[in-house]
Amino acid sequence: MNRRLFLNLAGSAAVSGLLRPTAFSANAPRPNILLIYADDLGYGDLSCYGAKNIRTPNLDRMAKGGVRFTDAHSSSATCTPSRYSMLTGEYAWRKKGTGVLPGDARLIIDPKRPTLPGMLQNAGYRTGVVGKWHLGLGDGNLDWNGEIKPGPLEIGFDSAFLMPATGDRVPCVYVKDRRVVGLDPKDPIKVDYQKPIGGEPTGRKNPELLRVHPSHGHDMAIVNGVSRIGYMTGGKSALWVDEDMAAEFVKRGIEFIDQQGREPFFLYFATHGIHVPRLPNRRFAGKTSMGPRGDAIAELDWTAGQLLDHLERRGLAKNTLVIFTSDNGPVVDDGYKDDAVEKLGGHRPAGPLRGGKYSNFEGGTRVPMIARWPERIKPGVSGALVGQQDFFASFATLSGAKLGKDAAPDSFDVLPALLGESTKGRDWIVEHARALSIRRGEYKLIAANPGPAVSRYTNIEMGTGSEPQLYRVTQDPGEQKNLAGTMPDKAKELSALLEKVKASPRSRVDVRTSVDNHQ
């Protein structure tokens, strides 16, 4: 059906000449799109972003052949809201219930709304997701032993191979399309996030059974010697092996790429690395001086390398747009005693930025991002301001799809910037962590948000303050000098813009500043 739709669209495009953006010749084949989405990887965690204690040769090679962005953002400083925004083109902070989800949450993306994969599917792409989901499954009280829906297949993916939530949340099983993989019906899975079930040992009561100990939280169900968040029983034959997860995802990603049809593909490949628990494969254990966190970065680099090599092998590299980025900034201790703090050495996971995951400072959402498409992109480094919520509108242009007014309400078409053809991306962007911040031009305003300056769990500087803060981030990327007192007009201007964005549920249409808004 998709292919037929594509042929129809292609036919009418030839007649009307309307569907393809002028920048693209009508005959050029549309590129495949591979989006490699890392978890918790910081701005300073790759050698191509200045890391000295670690080498990431595959991603460095990708950066050399593509555009490396220095001001690219996830929409939020945690996972679920970033993914929600990326797949819907809507800021997650506009919707209740889009914070970090438990593993038994219902699907938070309404199957009726336009989505990034759905838009590409309608435009004739074959769409797939492999890896971390964390957007909920089912519509409440999900039975993990039956048909799991709604899920990715209901929001525009043709196929799915998932880790349902996070590596540190139950259930610790894979879901393929609508079923748990390898489940024995005689050993059904039960999941509970409120109370222990089945009399099984827990991390709290049975620390002697653990091979990795929690530093905070993570003291419930024990799976593979690691205590997690949430309780589960059953499903023994279906449990994943943490150390094999990266290779499993690579295998499934390659399988998807190899189901080639005549249509281009879109693969959303979301890694578990480098989220906790950090249990990279034996091949990477001890490969860096930084313990499991460093080794997980090495494994992540390998993962990207495997996919890039495969594209090469299949002759697909030239016409595939590969984007590599991360869902939020870095965290060192995220709840397990895994040597990450002790072995950090001089490494700065957020590079020159302040804060990290969960934080209002730039370290929360400014993440590595590399775009490579040999047939189209000229290698370079770009300081354009771009956000992951912009993939939706940008890929719409790329694929020749038309966006309805209500679709992807906060997504701006920054395709020329993504392709390295323009140094201008967005005029402004909202960053979302504990509070909202707004970036425009040289400045950033963090809204007032009283609270402890440093998280006592993660030791991250949160960017809290009882008054708004203003930083000139172009000159002061480390956000050291608060200018709110000396530049009250600038603070007011940004604060008014933030209020306007909050009040305009379709910011692409309603918040036009001097914007290079191509839609």
Cβ-based nearer residue to ligand NG6, 137 or 415: 137
Map residue 89 onto helix, strand or coil. Answer: coil
CB of 98 to ligand NG6, least distance (A): 11
Q: Is 347 in the site for ligand NG6 (CB under 6 A)?
A: no
Q: Is 197 in the site for ligand NG6 (CB under 6 A)?
A: no
User: Least Å distance between CB 78 and ligand NG6?
Assistant: 4
3-state secondary structure 104-128: CCCCCCCCCCCCHHHHHHHCCCEEE
Q: How far apart, in whole angstroms, are the C-alpha atoms of residue 7 and residue 472?
A: 50
Does 333 sit near ligand NG6 (CB under 6 A)? no
φ/ψ (deg, to 5) at 104: -110, 20
Q: Does 74 bind ligand NG6 (CB under 6 A)?
A: no
Piece of 192-200, 213-221, 279-287, 507-515 that binds ligand NG6 (CB under 6 A): 213-221
Contacting residue, 154, 168, 301, 413, with ligand NG6 by CB under 6 A: 168
Among 30, 73, 218, 366, binds ligand NG6 (CB under 6 A): 218
Q: Should residue 322 be labelled a site residue for ligand NG6 when binding is judged by CB under 6 A? A: no
- Closer residue to Ca ion, CB minimum distance, 235 or 364: 364
The angle subtended at Cα 351 by Cα 348 and Cα 352, nearest 5°, is: 120
Coil, helix or strand at residue 145: coil
The region of 6-14, 155-163, 211-219, 294-302 touching ligand NG6 under the rule CB under 6 A is 211-219
CB of 352 closer than 8 Å to CB of 362: no
Chain contacts with Ca ion (rule: CB under 5 A): 39-40, 79, 327-328
For residue 326, which phi and psi values (nearest 5 degrees)?
-130, 155
Q: Between 334 and 427, whose beta carbon lies closer to ligand NG6?
A: 334
Burial 17-32 (b: 16+ CB within 10 A, else e): eebbeeebeeeeebbb
Q: Minimum distance between the CB of residue 27 and ligand NG6, rounded to whole angstroms?
A: 42
| 8 A C-beta contact, residue 368 and residue 325 | yes
Q: Between residues 217 and 441, which has the closer beta carbon with respect to ligand NG6?
A: 217
Which residue of 136, 335, 349, 463 would you call a contact of ligand NG6, by CB under 6 A? 335
Specify burial of residue 480 (Cβ count, 10 A radius: 0-12, 13-18, 19+).
exposed
Residue 217's binding partner out of ligand NG6, Ca ion, none, with CB under 5 to 8 Å set by partner kind: ligand NG6
Q: Are strands 436-440 and 179-180 parallel, antiparallel or unpaired?
A: unpaired
Of 450, 273, 433, the residue nearest 354 (C-alpha):
433
189 or 433: CB nearest Ca ion: 433
Asked if 317 and 311 touch (Cβ cutoff 8 Å), the reply is yes
Q: Which is nearer to Ca ion, 340 or 407 (CB)?
A: 340
Site membership for ligand NG6, residue 121 (CB under 6 A): no
C-alpha–C-alpha distance, residues 283 and 448, integer Å: 46
What does the DSSP 8-state code read for residue 335? S
Closer Cβ to Ca ion, 39 or 299, answer by number: 39
Residue 502 contacts residue 447 (beta carbons within 8 Å): no
Report if residue 360 touches ligand NG6, rule: CB under 6 A.
no
Which of Ca ion, ligand NG6, none binds 99 (CB below 5-8 Å, type-dependent)? none
CB 326 to Ca ion: min, Å: 8
Scanning 86-94, 210-218, 247-255, 378-386 for contacts with ligand NG6 by CB under 6 A, the matching segment is 210-218
Residue count, binding to ligand NG6 (CB under 6 A): 17
DSSP state of 345: T
The mark string for 84-113 relative to ligand NG6 (x by CB under 6 A, - otherwise) is ----------------x-------------
3-state secondary structure 377-405: CCCEEECCCEEHHHHHHHHHHHHCCCCCC
- Of positions 113, 179, 216, 506, contacts ligand NG6 by CB under 6 A: 216
Kindly state whether residue 166 participates in binding ligand NG6, applying the rule CB under 6 A: yes
Closest approach of Cβ 212 to ligand NG6, in Å? 12
Smallest distance, ligand NG6 to C-beta of residue 107, A: 16
- For ligand NG6, give the closer residue by CB, 213 or 216: 216
For ligand NG6, give the closer residue by CB, 167 or 264: 167
8 A C-beta contact, residue 290 and residue 330 = no
* Residues in Cβ contact with 183 at an 8 Å cutoff, skipping those fewer than 6 apart: 144, 145, 173, 189, 235, 237, 238
- Point out which residues pair with 204 in neighbouring strands: none
Question: What does each C-alpha distance from 212 to 224, 292, 294, 330, 343 come to in angstroms?
Answer: 10, 11, 16, 20, 16
Q: Determine the number of helices (DSSP H) and then strands (DSSP E) in the chain.
A: 10, 19
Question: Which stretch, 316-324, 328-336, 438-446, 467-475, contacts ligand NG6 (CB under 6 A)?
Answer: 328-336
Residue 75 near ligand NG6 by CB under 6 A:
no
Residues at the interface with ligand NG6 (CB under 6 A): 39-40, 78-79, 100, 134, 166, 168, 216-218, 229, 275-276, 328, 334-335
